[in-house]
Amino acid sequence: MLKKLIRKKLQNYRINLNEPDLSLPEKLSQPKSVAVIGGGIAGISAACNLAERGFSVHLFEKENFLGGKVGSWEFESNGETLRTEHGFHGFFRQYLNLRNFLKKIGAHKHLIPIDDYTILFDKNKKQGFKGLDNTPLINVLELRKFGIVDWKTFINPLGLPFINLLNFSFATTYKKFDSESFASFAKRTHMNDKMRLVFNSFSRAFFAEPEDMSMAELIKSFHFYFLSNEGGLLYDVLDSDFQNSFITYAEDFLSRHAAQIHYSTPVTELSKKERGFAVNGMDFDYCVLCTDVKHTKRLTAQSTGFEKYNRTFSQLTSLKQSGRYAVLRLWTDRFEADKTLPFFIFTDRLKCLDSVTLYHKMEKESARWSEENKGGIFELHSYSVPKDILSDEEVKEHLMQELYHYFPELKGMKITHEFFQHRDDFPGFHTNQYANRPEIKTEVPGFYVAGDWVKMNNCTMLMEAAYTFGSIAANYIMEQEGLRENQLISVPLKGILA
Ligand SMILES: Cc1cc2nc3c(=O)[nH]c(=O)nc-3n(C[C@H](O)[C@H](O)[C@H](O)COP(=O)(O)OP(=O)(O)OC[C@H]3O[C@@H](n4cnc5c(N)ncnc54)[C@H](O)[C@@H]3O)c2cc1C
């Protein structure tokens, strides 16, 4: 009965983000060209949606592969050719639009479920969430089982602000909480250690230190990932590297719809002309900018013709990047001792290490290497490298020390290959950013932006945001051309108590 009421209050866990007019045509009847800049998920989304409708799409990507942060590429090490990626990615069940797209292009068959959402802490302790009821609200009450909430959480006057986790709404949450950091919220509410551990993991998954992370973004993420649907905290992963399990399918789709992909082609020239745009010397009717935050700032700063659109220009050039993050993948001659661990494990960081992925358990190519070489492939992430750890060597040293803290059985292992990345191209979901973030439809006619950093009053985040926003940009262009939009969906926009 309670479950039915919750489902009803939360609109069956699905809402339509738009209502396409079915009387409009689907296909373009006159030639129109679109430049899509950046071949991450957002760019792939915009390009696929528009190419399918008959637009002449040119997708520009600076790397020699598509995918951006879900791209994968080859590298040589000690006489072997191996593949690596930007890092482990979880595809949550509430990534509704992205999952529909994976189905459409045939890639969804590569999704496999993880076993548990696990956090390691205090050396030998682990916090899993298996068996938790997936119904929103009931799942929060059940966190009692794990000592994360107790009756005091909501009754204690200091704990009253926790109610805000249950009443997310765009109208109030950002006003009230975008200027407060998670660290300050946790201190003010005397958050217990277990709850702090869970929220720290959440906050780090957004590449921010607790003192920088906007509490409003964290409340939205808690709503999106935990309180607005019955997907639960569990998610799926791709069983094979990103190129084989995802990007190849998107490339086939694009080529079937006559889109042109310009690999290894960084856009260095972007101009707004009287009508349309010039991109690397080619003319286009529309432009969708899908670059990451770092390169968006750079490209906009060197573009021409945008200066008179003050608001868009200043929003794009003042976007905030996250701090630095690091990904270290290791090919070794050892395995973890605890065979019950899931593919991906959060670690309560001592200084640097936030997660460890056991690739040999998860991904076909890695499993094959592991079988042939009798060793494990581990990937270590630091989602936010502390400000006092600067050099690559120092970061690696900290990551390794912390790996051995949690997995002492790996001490002394031989590392046959490694691939290290130390980057700063993730959006900063920091305090006081929301109001000034650009929206998909800009004030520049025919110019749209998409990516996980764009502001939109809908409940999507990270990969789902990138896919959904690329599709919304495509919908705006279809609307301009009098075409039927594609249907997009989402979890409900308000929390259960809002
Ligand atoms: C280590 C790591 C782990 C993550 N884990 C998860 C997870 O578990 N779940 C989840 O949902 N999300 C996760 N994310 C976030 C997710 O990867 C991103 O939100 C999403 O992929 C962003 O897609 P995008 O298209 O907006 O941007 P990007 O993937 O950054 O794509 C931007 C593209 O633009 C290209 N580009 C830049 N400048 C130019 C130029 N001048 N000309 C041409 N091309 C250019 C870049 O090369 C890139 O291909 C993770 C991210 C990282 C780094």
**356, part of any domain:** no
363 lines ligand 1 (CB under 6 A): no
Q: How far is the CA of 41 from the centre of ligand 1 (A)?
A: 7
61 lines ligand 1 (CB under 6 A): yes
CATH number at residue 210: 3.50.50.60
Domain total of the chain: 1
Instruction: Judge whether residue 128 has pLDDT over 80.
Output: no
**270, part of any domain:** yes
Ligand 1 atom closest to residue 464's alpha carbon, by position in its atom list: 11
Query: What mean pLDDT do residues 431-457 have?
Result: 95
Q: Residue 322 burial (CB < 10 Å; 0-12/13-18/19+)?
A: buried
**339, part of any domain:** no
Instruction: Judge whether residue 263 has pLDDT over 70.
Output: yes
Instruction: Judge whether residue 160 has pLDDT over 70.
Output: no
**497, part of any domain:** yes
Which residue puts its alpha carbon closest to atom 49 of ligand 1? 68
**Ligand 1 pocket check: which of 64, 97, 102, 292 to mutate, most ligand atoms within 8 Å of Cβ?**
292
Percent of the chain with pLDDT over 70: 98
321 lines ligand 1 (CB under 6 A): no
Instruction: Judge whether residue 212 has pLDDT over 80.
Output: yes
Instruction: Judge whether residue 123 has pLDDT over 80.
Output: no
**Ligand 1 pocket check: which of 288, 354, 463 to mutate, most ligand atoms within 8 Å of Cβ?**
463
Instruction: Say how many residues make up the chain.
Output: 498
Instruction: Judge whether residue 493 has pLDDT over 90.
Output: yes
Instruction: Judge whether residue 158 has pLDDT over 80.
Output: no
Instruction: Judge whether residue 159 has pLDDT over 70.
Output: no
End-to-end CA separation in angstroms for the chain: 21
Residue 86 is part of which domain span?
A: 1-63+81-107+138-229+256-322+429-498
The string of DSSP codes covering 348-362 is --SSS--EEEEHHHH
Q: How far is the CA of 247 from the centre of ligand 1 (A)?
A: 13
Ligand 1 atom closest to residue 469's alpha carbon, by position in its atom list: 26
86 lines ligand 1 (CB under 6 A): yes
Instruction: Judge whether residue 410 has pLDDT over 90.
Output: yes
CA angle 490, 233, 123 (to 5 degrees): 150
**90, part of any domain:** yes
Q: How far is the CA of 70 from the centre of ligand 1 (A)?
A: 6
Which residue puts its alpha carbon closest to atom 37 of ligand 1? 291
**74, part of any domain:** no
What is the predicted pLDDT for the residue at 155?
65
**376, part of any domain:** no
463 lines ligand 1 (CB under 6 A): yes
194 lines ligand 1 (CB under 6 A): no
What is the predicted pLDDT for the residue at 489?
96
The residue whose two tokens read 């637009």 is 55
Closest CA to 466 of 433, 434, 426: 426
**102, part of any domain:** yes
Query: What mean pLDDT do residues 346-350 have?
Result: 87
Give the E-state strand segments of 348-490 in sequence order: 355-358, 377-382, 415-423, 447-449, 489-490
Instruction: Judge whether residue 151 has pLDDT over 70.
Output: no
Q: How far is the CA of 218 from the centre of ligand 1 (A)?
A: 20
